[in-house]
Amino acid sequence: MNLLIQDAGRYYREQFGEPDLIIRSPGRINLLGEHTDYNAGYVLPAAIDNAVYVSIGKRKDAKIALYSVDYQEHFEIEQSNLQKTQVHWANYVLSIVVTLQKAGYFFDGFNAVVRGDIPIGAGLSSSAAVECAVIFALNELFALGLDKMQMVQLAQQAENEFIGVKCGIMDQFASMFGKQDQVIQLDCRSLKHTYFKFQPEDHQLLLLNTQVKHSLADSEYNLRRLDCEAGVAHLSRIFPEIDHLRDATEEMIESELKGLSNDVYNHCLYAVQEIKRVKEACTDLMSENYIAFGKKMFETHKGLSEMYQVSCPELDFLVAFAAKHKDVLGARMMGGGFGGCTINLIRKDGISDFIDRASEAYLETFGILPGAYPVTISEGTSLVQAQF
Ligand code: ADP
Ligand code: MG
């Protein structure tokens, strides 16, 4: 049995007795569709095998008692008047309790143990995994009657309001709704989602972590959003039906934005192209054309680097290195940019050679070893059925 489930059960038993249930909630990747969410476009995330496990049980009083196996730390608090604490990881659990209370859901005290193996801060949304595991666990334990979509929205609200991170809905959505060997095409406007099989026989997904996070990330993110809004403001004067870049075409950008600032033009053109690319990539998946899919990953990277200008030398280096390796079908930076991971679609046989060579070259150029995580596409948030 999975060692992490065992840990979640064992640490719970040592401290609190028998857990009522154990919940697993995974991290996520995003295969294509970067910076498309706030343009009301499509994203293409999937849940991965790395996950957070929460064992949980009821208490007789109103307290919340927590233990983090990974941080080896206890935390206890009364449920009334919950506030942010100095214990960083515990805030992710409390964020859910507070958000549920705000929405009118109240319950007794509980004990919980948290254990996970999602690399933290690497762009795999370990925070969303904790939130989704906890809300799913509380929903089961106290029979709150929430459906998955409500849980996703409350978990996003918890991260936005209590934690103070203005994330979109993709992270919690992918963690909760993931399916084994399927990617999710999520329409960020309607939240309509469609699954596409992603099961290349000879290839696998591999993440390489640049181990850097440049401080430009937040300010440049806000600037890109403003440029997209400026493009929409201009276009909507001519085409009143345009509410987001999702509604625009490349021809409209060419004809109406070319004379404006280069940045607005390039950034809007990238966003429109990327939204289209996600749709076309799903057609590739229907015909199991992973070569065409991989090509689109490279195109996305080029767009993010040259047009949208959110890459950095470390990401560009790893993608260029991947492009030269015979076993790689596609690679791109993943996430908002200026650091984090690249995602690579690579022949299974070539993985260890690629990791060795890329690591050596990256170390030589930047003086840091990249992290390497092969991932497989797994189920979303669920009750662990195994005996624990
Ligand atoms: P990410 O990009 O991985 O979501 P964040 O900074 O948003 O990075 O969230 C990471 C935080 O989530 C950690 O600092 C920790 O507080 C919490 N977290 C993630 N994994 C675990 C875990 N296994 N146990 C406890 N807390 C965790
Ligand atoms: Mg996060």
Ligand 1 neighbour 294 (Cβ under 6 A): no
Q: Are residues 349 and 260 in the same domain?
A: yes
- For ligand 1, atom 16, name the residue with the nearest CA: 89
Q: Are residues 285 and 157 in the same domain?
A: no
pLDDT of residue 216: 87
Nearest atom in ligand 1 to 159's CA: 7
**Which ligand gives the minimal distance to the CA of 114?**
1
Domain CATH number, residue 106: 3.30.230.10
- E strands, the chain, are 21-30, 42-43, 45-58, 63-68, 73-78, 110-116, 182-187, 193-197, 203-213, 328-333, 339-347, 371-375, 382-383
* pLDDT tier at 61, thresholds 50, 70, 90: very high
- For ligand 1, atom 20, name the residue with the nearest CA: 126
As a whole-number percent, the residues of the chain with pLDDT over 90 amount to 95
181 is catalytic: no
Tell me the per-residue pLDDT of 265-311, one tens digit each, with 9 for 90 and over: 999 999 999 999 999 999 999 999 999 999 999 999 999 999 999 99
Domain residue limits at 164 = 3-197+378-386
Can you tell me the mean pLDDT for 47-71?
A: 97
In angstroms, the Cα distances linking 298 to 146, 311, 345 are 40, 13, 10
Can you tell me the mean pLDDT for 4-14?
A: 96
Nearest atom in ligand 1 to 167's CA: 7
Distance CA 75, CA 67 (A): 6
Tell me the per-residue pLDDT of 323-364, one tens digit each, with 9 for 90 and over: 999 999 999 999 999 999 999 999 999 999 999 999 999 999
Tell me the per-residue pLDDT of 183-226, one tens digit each, with 9 for 90 and over: 999 999 999 999 999 999 999 999 999 999 998 888 999 999 99
> Separation of 217 CA from ligand 2 center, angstroms?
14
Q: Best mutation site among 29, 68, 96, 120 for ligand 1, i.e. most ligand atoms within 8 A of its Cβ?
A: 120
Q: Are residues 169 and 229 in the same domain?
A: no
Can you tell me the mean pLDDT for 148-162?
A: 97
- Contact yes or no for 265/253 (Cβ under 8 A): yes
Instruction: Read off the amino acid at residue 306.
Output: E
> Separation of 251 CA from ligand 2 center, angstroms?
36
As a whole-number percent, the residues of the chain with pLDDT over 70 amount to 99
Q: Are residues 193 and 216 in the same domain?
A: no
Q: Are residues 98 and 231 in the same domain?
A: no
Q: Are residues 149 and 31 in the same domain?
A: yes
Tell me the per-residue pLDDT of 107-125, one tens digit each, with 9 for 90 and over: 999 999 999 999 998 999 9
Catalytic position from the list 7, 70, 147, 171: 171
Ligand 1 neighbour 58 (Cβ under 6 A): no
Q: Which of 206-220, 225-239, 361-375 is predicted least confidently?
A: 206-220
DSSP-assigned beta bridge partners for residue 213: 339
pLDDT of residue 80: 87
Could you say which DSSP state residue 113 is in? Answer: E
Ligand 1 neighbour 375 (Cβ under 6 A): no
> Separation of 227 CA from ligand 2 center, angstroms?
25
Could you say which DSSP state residue 259 is in? Answer: T
Residue 26: Cβ within 10 Å count: 32
Q: Output the average pLDDT for the chain.
A: 96
Residue among 263, 265, 294 at smallest CA distance from 277 = 294
Residue 146 in this model has a pLDDT that exceeds 70: yes
**Which ligand gives the minimal distance to the CA of 167?**
2
* pLDDT tier at 1, thresholds 50, 70, 90: low
Distance CA 5, CA 202 (A): 29
Ligand 1 neighbour 95 (Cβ under 6 A): no
pLDDT of residue 247: 98
Could you say which DSSP state residue 348 is in? Answer: G
Q: Are residues 82 and 183 in the same domain?
A: yes
In angstroms, the Cα distances linking 20 to 79, 133, 280, 320 are 20, 14, 45, 49
Q: How far is CA 285 from the centre of its chain?
A: 20
Distance CA 227, CA 264 (A): 5
> Separation of 39 CA from ligand 2 center, angstroms?
20
Residue among 80, 32, 56 at smallest CA distance from 130 = 56
> Separation of 376 CA from ligand 2 center, angstroms?
20
Residue 355: Cβ within 10 Å count: 19
> Separation of 85 CA from ligand 1 center, angstroms?
15
pLDDT of residue 386: 61
Residue 385 in this model has a pLDDT that exceeds 90: no
Q: Are residues 320 and 192 in the same domain?
A: no
pLDDT of residue 268: 98
* pLDDT tier at 388, thresholds 50, 70, 90: low
Domain count of the chain?
2
* pLDDT tier at 387, thresholds 50, 70, 90: low
Domain CATH number, residue 294: 3.30.70.890
* pLDDT tier at 15, thresholds 50, 70, 90: very high
pLDDT of residue 167: 85
Q: Are residues 36 and 157 in the same domain?
A: yes
pTM of the model: 0.95
Distance CA 212, CA 368 (A): 9
HEC profile of 131-198: HHHHHHHHHHHCCCCCCHHHHHHHHHHHHHHHHCCCCCCHHHHHHHHCECCEEEEEECCCCCEEEEEC
Residue 383: Cβ within 10 Å count: 11
- For ligand 1, atom 8, name the residue with the nearest CA: 121
Residue among 290, 289, 353, 293 at smallest CA distance from 321 = 353
Q: Are residues 281 and 371 in the same domain?
A: yes
Can you tell me the mean pLDDT for 53-67?
A: 97
Q: Are residues 61 and 209 in the same domain?
A: no
Ligand 1 neighbour 92 (Cβ under 6 A): yes
Can you tell me the mean pLDDT for 357-377?
A: 97
pLDDT of residue 259: 86
pLDDT of residue 105: 98
Q: Are residues 36 and 177 in the same domain?
A: yes
User: DSSP 3-state assignment of 124?
Assistant: coil
Ligand 1 neighbour 114 (Cβ under 6 A): yes
Ligand 1 neighbour 175 (Cβ under 6 A): no
